Chains A and B, each alone.
Chain A
Amino acid sequence: MYTRIILTLALAIPCLGFASDDKSADEIAKYREMVSDGNPAELDEMRGEELWKTAAGTKNASLEKCDLGKGAGMVKGAYAELPRYFADTKRVQDLESRLLTCMTTLQGIPEADITRKPFSTTSEKSNIEGLVAYVVGQSKGMKMAVALKHPKEKAAYEIGKRIFFYRAGPYDFSCATCHSENGRRIRLQDLPNLTTNIGAQRAYTTWPAYRVSQGLFRSFQWRINDCFRQQRFPEPVFGSELTVALTMFLAANANDAVYDGPAIKR
């Protein structure tokens, strides 16, 4: 019995994607533990909660009637089940695209006003990123349970998979170029293998995150956006079917893991 367990562990360890001789990874892990007590993302969560509850837009309404999939106003645990199919919009939506729906329909804020600057800068915080911080924080400690039941949910996953493996641009890169093998790095940065459950779980459950090097909270749409930038691709449209499908592929691969965001990263 013990031999079996040891053997299983010995076989499982190489697939975790850690280079065992990589001291910097240990240092980063220590650093994360050290700062996890006081994650500045909490400030964004508070800012987001305030935004959620405050009346705004031409309809002078708050977002407290926004349905994130678990019923109007139900925020607890909603993120762990996103993306999902929504009957009212007849499409699969991730958190950001769903927030767009709520902000435009409930509050009457024009979509262009929201998507013009969807990501925070040091001089100007984005409202939608604040709302993201609040909502994801309400799923901390819950199991990822993204459904692939509705035909459109299944299709989104399959389309996302195809986007993940799509090679193009001046350097012939796809998402898979960096994220489909275990134990790879760019410089000293460990790269999760997002085609495995264990790799996708580790990555997806720790985004969105407060990014120490930028001094800003970053949403998942931002994470995808910056991957495409480094892939030498043009910019994906915020909240588009493309970003939702890719998010669906990654989120569903992360199913059954405990959601642990917003996290803190280098």
Chain B
Amino acid sequence: MKKIVLLVIAMCAPTAYAANKDTALDTKALTVIQRDFRDKGIAKVDRVKQDKIQALCTQYRDRPPHALQDKLEKEQLAAVKYPADGKLMGDWKAGEKLAQSGRGLTWTDKEGDVVGGNCYNCHQLSPKEIAYGTIGPSLLHFGRNRGNTPEMQKYVYGRIYNAKAFNLCTNMPRFGHVGALTESQIKDLVALLLDPESLVNKE
């Protein structure tokens, strides 16, 4: 019996999961990565150079030591730029439009094109949209379940601006931190999640 359970676990388990330490191969892989890409459109080779967080999350397969994780999350949080006017909620309808768009930053996109929020690629949001992805958690009724106090608005703004400030190796991009989304776009997405009138918070 135990054997069967173990066998099934073995079948399902990631075969290549563990981050095995082999410095020579690590170095070789890095050399290959740095050598075998070329510029295409707006996607230049400098994009494969890792920053501190990317390197750390790669090294630990997204499970870094807790102390290091806490330290870097605090650093990222300290770098979040909140709007100077103190207003964190924009127009939820503009937010919904933005959430639908998965465009931006690929080599087939153009410099200066409006970057989409990519939200529905990974999250459920409005109950009207059934074509949603499941890489991230469902955000259906997000504001209805949590309210929209100033603290909640600040949390959501920060989380979209830089999700890594809250969960260092999350799959979610750092939309504000890297300048993919503007301040006013992030405000619209905050409204999409928290405005009581937003479709996200309706039946």
- Contact partner, A235, options B14, B37, B133, Cβ 8 Å: B37
- Min CB distance, A188 to chain B, in Å? 5
- A187 CB-CB contact with B under 8 Å: yes
| A215 at interface by CB-CB < 8 Å | no
Distance of B144 from chain A, by nearest CB (Å): 23
**A140-170 vs B, Cβ < 8 Å mask (1 yes, 0 no):** 0000000000000001001101111111111
Given contacts A15-B12, A187-B131, contact A155 B25 (CB under 8 A): yes
A183 B134 Cβ-Cβ under 8 A: yes
One of A29-37, A67-75, A81-89, A174-182 at the interface: A174-182
Q: Is the CB of A237 within 8 A of B37?
A: yes
Within 8 A of A (CB), among B15-56: 15-17, 19, 22, 25-26, 28-30, 32-33, 35-40, 43-45, 47-50, 53-54
Report whether A243 and B36 are in contact in the complex, using a CB–CB cutoff of 8 Å.
Answer: yes
The count of A-to-B residue pairs whose CB atoms sit within 8 angstroms is 165
User: Does A171 lie within 8 Å of B173, measured CB to CB?
Assistant: yes
Judged by a CB distance under 8 angstroms, whether A90 is at the interface is no
Nearest to B19 among chain A residues (CB) is A165
* Pairwise interchain contact B49-A168, C-beta atoms closer than 8 A: yes
Closest CB in chain A relative to B110 CB, distance in Å: 14
Most chain A CB inside 10 Å of its own CB: which residue of B1, B16, B38, B180: B16
Q: Are B48 and A186 in contact (CB under 8 A)?
A: no
Closest chain B residue, CB of each to CB of A189: B133
Report Cα–Cα, A223/B88, bound state, in Å: 40
Report if A249 contacts B (CB, 8 A). yes
Nearest to B105 among chain A residues (CB) is A232
Query: Contact between A168 and B54 (Cβ–Cβ < 8 Å)?
Result: yes
- B15 contacts A242, C-beta separation under 8 Å: no
Q: Size range of the interface on A?
A: 35 or more
Interfacial chain B residues near A7, Cβ < 8 Å: 4
Distance of A184 Cα from B171 Cα, bound (Å): 13
Complex CA gap A164/B109 in Å reads 24
The answer to whether A172 and B53 have CB atoms under 8 Å apart is yes
List residues of B (114-135) whose CB comes within 8 Å of A's CBs. 120-122, 131-135
> Which of A177, A233, A249 meets B37, CB within 8 Å?
A233
Partner of B43, one of A182, A235, A253: A235
How many angstroms from the CA of A228 to the CA of B37 in the assembled complex? 10
Interface residue? B174 (CB, 8 A): yes
Residue A127, interface by CB 8 Å: no
Residues of A within 8 A of B16 (CB): 161, 164, 195, 249, 253
In the complex, residue of chain A having the shortest beta-carbon distance to the beta carbon of B135: A184
How many residues does chain B have at the interface if contact means C-beta atoms less than 8 Å apart? 58
- Bound: A7/B7 CA distance, A: 12
Q: Is B67 an interface residue (CB 8 A)?
A: no
Any A CB within 8 A of the CB of B80: no
CA distance A232 to B49 in the complex (A): 13
Shortest beta-carbon distance from A240 to chain B in Å = 4
Which of A8, A11, A167, A185 makes the CB contact (< 8 A) with B50?
Answer: A167
* A166 touches which of B28, B33, B174, B180 (Cβ 8 Å): B33
B78 interface contact, C-beta 8 A: no
Judged by a CB distance under 8 angstroms, whether A38 is at the interface is: no
Give the chain A neighbours of B120 by CB distance below 8 A: 187
Of all chain A residues, which has the CB nearest B107?
Answer: A229
Q: Is the CB of A184 within 8 A of B133?
A: yes
- Residues of B with C-beta under 8 A to A233: 37, 43, 47-48
Tell me the complex Cα distance, A183–B174, Å.
24
CA A90 to CA B102, docked complex, whole Å: 42
B32 close to A165 (CB less than 8 A)? no
Closest to B57 in A: A167
User: Which residues of chain A have C-beta atoms less than 8 A from B11's C-beta?
Assistant: 12, 15, 196-198
A108 interface hit (Cβ, 8 Å) = no
Residues of A contacting B26 with CB < 8 Å?
162
Whether A123 sits at the interface, judged by CB under 8 Å, is: no
Query: Which of B13, B33, B122, B173 touches A242 (beta carbons < 8 Å)?
Result: B33
CB<8 Å pairs between A and B, sample of 27: A8-B8, A12-B11, A14-B12, A159-B25, A159-B28, A161-B16, A162-B29, A162-B30, A168-B49, A171-B178, A173-B173, A174-B58, A178-B135, A180-B14, A180-B17, A182-B12, A187-B102, A187-B121, A196-B15, A230-B106, A232-B106, A234-B40, A235-B38, A235-B107, A240-B32, A242-B36, A249-B16
Q: Which 6 A-B pairs have the closest CB atoms?
A: A15-B12, A242-B36, A195-B14, A162-B29, A171-B173, A235-B40
